[in-house]
Amino acid sequence: MKSLREQIENRCVHFSGVMNDCCEAGIKYAEVRVDRPYKFPCLKQGGQCLRSQFPSPAEVAVKVGEIEGSGLKTLIALSKIQEHYRQTKQERGFVKCDCGG
């Protein structure tokens, strides 16, 4: 399995997901995919695309930081919710969280 950093650095900035017909640059995935199982140049798996553009190391570091920070905020929120439930046994409601969420 690829690390988060590898996943981000190996994905074209125009990639919108193969569930769409084309990427954000207007390139049709069906025109650039290779063979079966399909390989896409936008994921550095093979093939060529004239519009492919990959994030710089600095952009990758920022994105990794954002995702990891979001995960940490989620864990903090979950901890607060569990603590609140243990004290009150309330299954519904709102809890003010220190994480900013």
- 69 in any annotated domain: yes
Residue type, 17: G
- 25 in any annotated domain: yes
- pLDDT mean across residues, the chain: 91
DSSP assignment of 65-96 equals: HHHHHHHHHHHHHHHHHHHHHHHH---SS---
Block residue for tokens 């650039």: 32
Q: Which domain holds residue 32?
A: 4-88
Whether the per-residue pLDDT at 101 is higher than 60: the answer is: no
Q: What is the pLDDT of residue 92?
A: 86
State the Cα–Cα distance between residues 76 and 10, nearest whole angstrom.
30
- 101 in any annotated domain: no
- 93 in any annotated domain: no
- 82 in any annotated domain: yes
- 80 in any annotated domain: yes
CB neighbourhood size of 99 (10 A): 15
- 28 in any annotated domain: yes
CA end-to-end distance (rounded Å), the chain: 30
Q: pLDDT of 21-48, one tens digit each?
A: 999 999 999 999 998 889 999 999 999 9
More confident residue, 27 or 75: 27
State the Cα–Cα distance between residues 32 and 39, nearest whole angstrom.
9
pLDDT band at 100 (very low <50, low <70, confident <90, very high): low
State the Cα–Cα distance between residues 14 and 27, nearest whole angstrom.
9
- 48 in any annotated domain: yes
State the Cα–Cα distance between residues 30 and 21, nearest whole angstrom.
7
Q: How many domains does the chain have?
A: 1
Q: Say which range, 10-14, 50-54, 66-70, 89-93, has the weakest mean pLDDT.
A: 89-93
Whether the per-residue pLDDT at 80 is higher than 70: the answer is: yes
Question: Which pTM value belongs to this model?
Answer: 0.73
